[in-house]
């Protein structure tokens, strides 16, 4: 049973990394699109930062989410 719990924790950590990478990629893509369409540099930088911050926030939510089974709900 311990090995199964370790596998679940490993899967959770990998999924958090993919969530953060996905939002970072989205922010970078949006920043590149904004720069290519003559928007200001600060807006492109803000889009990149927003992508990273949203990814970190969503990753934190995934890691700290309590299981309904453990809460007894």
Q: 5-51, pLDDT tens digit by residue? A: 888 888 889 999 999 999 999 999 999 999 999 999 999 999 999 99
CA distance 41 to 52: 17
The predicted structure's pLDDT at residue 63: 85
pTM value? 0.78
- Residue 54: name the closest of 30, 33, 36, 32 by CA: 30
The dihedrals phi and psi of 25, each to the nearest 5 degrees, come to -60, -40
Residue 68's pLDDT band (cuts 50, 70, 90): low
The predicted structure's pLDDT at residue 64: 86
DSSP label at residue 67: P
Query: Is 80 exceeded by the pLDDT of residue 69?
Result: no
Match 């807006």 to its residue by tokens.
43
């Amino acid at each position: 049973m311990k090995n199964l719990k370790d596998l679940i924790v490993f899967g959770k950590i990998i999924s958090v990394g993919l969530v953060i990478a996905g939002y970072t990629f989205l922010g970078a893509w949006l920043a590149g699109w904004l720069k290519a369409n003559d928007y200001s540099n600060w807006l492109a930088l803000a889009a990149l930062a927003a992508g990273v911050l949203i990814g970190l926030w969503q990753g934190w939510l995934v890691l700290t989410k309590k299981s309904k089974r453990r809460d007894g709900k």
